[in-house]
Amino acid sequence: MSLLDTTREVMRRDQVWPFLQDDTATVDISHQVLLYVEGLNLSFDGFKALNDLNLYINDGELRCLIGANGAGKTTLMDVITGKTQCDSGTVYFGQSLNLLEKDEAEIAQLGIGRKFQKPTVFEAHTVMDNLELSLKSNKSVIPTLLATLTGEEYDQMDQVLETIGLKGERMMLAGSLSHGQKQWLEIGMLLMANPRLLLVDEPVAGMTVQEGERTAELLTSLAGERTVVVVEHDMEFVRSIARTVTVLHQGSVLAEGSMDEIQNNPDVIEVYLGEAP
């Protein structure tokens, strides 16, 4: 980039310089938008995983992200949660919080919870311990060393156990749970932290139909109070929960709208749904 370009970029009139921004810990959603992703670019060894991606998630929304393999869904989540650095672009949480400047732990403490594709729970801990670790609390070393569970926190744990249907398994080691139960435990861990935004990566992978239905119920019941973004391949599942669907293709947004609109969109049919039998 030449000096002139750099100067232009710095002097752009539609932006506020980072040092002037009010980086407070509260999420400002005065414009009803919780997450702003703008102009995101990221390439791995020449392969453009994200290509000028723009995405806006409203507060309280349940949004589904679909797209073929390599469309950039998981990479997008990696960038939002601070796991991967992007090449250019901005990610804002609310009006004022710049997520690209923060690391994973900070982003998690701001109230962004993430569920991985493969269920990742702490296998050597009991279900209760898994939930306790995910509690919203001061997570620096000394307070954690001295932390004890309060009655309220117990109640909250009970409530979450009820929600995820693992009340009977509370003392079991997470490693001995079934696959579906691990998926729910992971969702439960996210709930313990009381997050604003939930990023859920393929929640029904490997689940039976009944388990999938229960998961769908769970996720729809969460929306409204919290904002949920779901990445999923299973179109039936997407149809059953989604109000708004965003289709990603080759690292950028291809289409956005309700499920019916998406299914009738000629571009989408060509690149994505067309491939399905």
Partner 1 sequence: MSTLLQNVFGNAKGFARLNGESKVAPFVVLLLVVTVLASACNLLLPQDSIFYVSTYTITLLGKYLCYAMLALAVDVIWGFCGILSLGHGAFFALGGYAMGMYLMRQIGDRGVYGNPELPDFMVFLSWNELPWFWQGMDQFWLAMLMVLLVPGLLAYVFGWLAFRSRVTGVYLSIMTQALTYALLLSFFRNEMGFGGNNGLTDFKDILGFDLQSDNTRVTLFIITALMLSGLLVLSKKIMQTRFGKVVVAIRDGESRARFIGYRTENYKVWLFVYSAMIAGIAGALYVPQVGIINPGEFSPINSIEIVIWVAVGGRGTLVGAVIGAILVNYAKTKFTAIMPDGWLFALGAMFVLVTLYLPKGLMGLWSQFKGEQAVAPTPVNPPNETSASHNPEEGRA
Q: Quick count: other Cβ atoms within 10 Å of Cβ 70?
A: 14
Tokens of 266: 């000629």
Q: How far is the CB of 37 from partner 1 (least distance, A)?
A: 17
Does 3 sit near partner 1 (CB under 8 A)?
Answer: no
CB 41 within 8 A of CB 72: no
Does 108 sit near partner 1 (CB under 8 A)?
Answer: yes
Does 214 sit near partner 1 (CB under 8 A)?
Answer: no
Q: How far is the CB of 255 from partner 1 (least distance, A)?
A: 20
CB 241 within 8 A of CB 216: yes
The residue (of 20 and 124) whose beta carbon lies closer to partner 1 is 124
Residue that the structure tokens 């409530």 belong to: 159
The residue (of 98 and 126) whose beta carbon lies closer to partner 1 is 126
Which of these ranges, 56-64, 116-124, 213-221, 252-260, lies near partner 1 under the rule CB under 8 A? 116-124
Answer for which of 48, 83, 170, 214 binds partner 1 (CB under 8 A) is 83
Alpha-carbon distance of 6 to 41, in angstroms, equals 17
Q: How far is the CB of 114 from partner 1 (least distance, A)?
A: 5
Answer for which of 70, 89, 165, 257 binds partner 1 (CB under 8 A) is 70
Q: How far is the CB of 136 from partner 1 (least distance, A)?
A: 8
Does 114 sit near partner 1 (CB under 8 A)?
Answer: yes
Q: Which residues sit opposite 248 in a β-bridge?
A: 67, 253
Q: Quick count: other Cβ atoms within 10 Å of Cβ 80?
A: 25
Strand ranges inside 137-204, DSSP E: 197-201
Q: Quick count: other Cβ atoms within 10 Å of Cβ 167?
A: 12
Answer for which of 75, 181, 246, 265 binds partner 1 (CB under 8 A) is 75
